[in-house]
Amino acid sequence: MLEAEGLGAAKVNYRLRDWLLSRQRFWGAPIPIVHCADCGEVPVPEDQLPVELPTDLRGEQLSPKGKSPLAGAEGWVNVTCPSCGGEATRDTDTMDTFVDSSWYYLRYVDPTNESEVFPSEQVNQWLPVDQYVGGVEHAILHLLYSRFFTKVLYDLGLVNFTEPFKALMNQGQVLNGGKAMSKSLGNGVNLGEQLDHYGVDAVRLTMVFASPPEDDVDWADVSPSGSAKFLARAWRLAQDVESAPGTDPAAGSQTLRAVTHRTIADVENLLEDQKFNVVVARIMELVNAARKEIDSGAGAADPAVREAAEVAAQILSLVAPYTAEDMWAMLGHQASVANSSWPAYDEALLVQDTITAVVQVKGKLRDKLEVPADISAEELEAQALALPKIQKYIEEDGGVRKVIVRAPKLVNVVTG
């Protein structure tokens, strides 16, 4: 409309700037070009790629002196021209490091491939990357370059996708006392000491439990000793199970089974949503529920206790694999818990909250029943009329005249 009125025009506005490709530094990818007085710039033949940095430059020789440090490596610089065979020199500049870092995920598919940079068929099968995890410092330039490289490779017909990453998560930082850890502040945490003291499972569990992965963690607020205590609780649970491996859990405590199956169902969603800290909280609740069943419920021989302990080991293997493996072995299974199938949940056990509905006949309380809180009026009426006691009253009073239903709490049968 503005163009039609002569008041404005469409315009593409780039905010990007050219980025320097060649630099006079040692550390970088050599430029695969040979300079010949007769032939000009000649590409290094493919069978001589990649051009590697010389290995004989040391110390001061690596520092910039107004020209590239590579120029000092005469044995490396002086070559014969691939085109005419005459005297020639290698290019002594190096490419910026984004030339390496912008496509490494393609190389990961087949890292020992000697004949090509990557096999397109396998790369198309595995990529794009489903979930990219990286610090916020990589959020702008690295992602931009990676996208450029991918789009160029797409145009060259080497990959069949135009975006390298489907999803990105920037993980948080580990702070100490509200500040980033640094040598100058002296507030670093010695990870080696933590691992020696608490074990790798407890330290990892602490990190995962502390916050969602995209949030910062303050080491001053976390408790690796609490994690170690929880892992010991989980371990003792597996040790205390008295039923045999393979026991059918169907006859076990329905209360505990409901917790176990609700945990499996919820954890699947929590994992998809990357709420790993909540996953840990749910394992803790499951272990506590199973412990309660042993101590003041159906006891250690109840098959639902075994089911709960096995599921706890399987989910725990995601964050505390050593503890989980030991639990799995104590539960009588072959290694490894990581190779076991992900537990399946039974929809029928995912009961919602239930409520007690009262059933009256001619206004007098005659029976009660447990129903889901969201039961429909039709379903509640059907269940109430099917109760043996109620059927008896209906028969004695001369049949149903009218039924008043207030789901989910009340059914009143008017008889006669």
Residues in the site for Zn ion, rule: CB under 5 A?
A: 36, 38-39, 81, 83-84
Q: How far is the CB of 67 from Zn ion (least distance, A)?
A: 23
Q: How far is the CB of 40 from Zn ion (least distance, A)?
A: 8
Q: How far apart are CA 303 and CA 84, in angstroms?
A: 81
Closer to Zn ion by Cβ: residue 33 or 189:
33
Closer to Zn ion by Cβ: residue 83 or 89:
83
Which ranges of 355-387 does DSSP label H, i.e. alpha helix? 377-385
Q: How far is the CB of 43 from Zn ion (least distance, A)?
A: 12
Q: How far is the CB of 86 from Zn ion (least distance, A)?
A: 5
In terms of Cα–Cα distance, which of 206, 186, 180 is closest to 194?
206
Closer to Zn ion by Cβ: residue 40 or 178:
40
Q: How far apart are CA 252 and CA 309, in angstroms?
A: 13
Closer to Zn ion by Cβ: residue 84 or 168:
84
Closer to Zn ion by Cβ: residue 39 or 387:
39
DSSP secondary structure letters along 217-280: EEGGG--HHHHHHHHHHHHHHHHH--SPTT--GGGS-HHHHHHHHHHHHHHHHHHHTT-HHHHH
Question: Could you tell me how far CA 80 lies from the centroid of its own chain?
Answer: 52
Q: How far apart are CA 373 and CA 299, in angstroms?
A: 30
Is residue 226 within 8 Å of 280, Cβ to Cβ?
no
Closer to Zn ion by Cβ: residue 38 or 221:
38
Question: What Rg do the C-alpha atoms of the chain give, in angstroms?
Answer: 34
Q: How far is the CB of 48 from Zn ion (least distance, A)?
A: 15
Q: Which helix or strand (DSSP H or E) is residue 152 part of?
A: helix 141-155
Q: How far is the CB of 103 from Zn ion (least distance, A)?
A: 31
Q: What are phi and psi of 152, to 5 degrees?
A: -65, -45
Closer to Zn ion by Cβ: residue 48 or 356:
48
Q: How far is the CB of 203 from Zn ion (least distance, A)?
A: 60
Edge-to-edge strands, sheet with 354-361 = 364-372, 354-361, 410-415, 400-406
Say what angle helices 224-240 and 200-210 make with each other, to 10 degrees: 110
Closer to Zn ion by Cβ: residue 41 or 196:
41
Q: How far is the CB of 91 from Zn ion (least distance, A)?
A: 14
Helix (H, G, I), strand (E, B) or coil at 357: strand
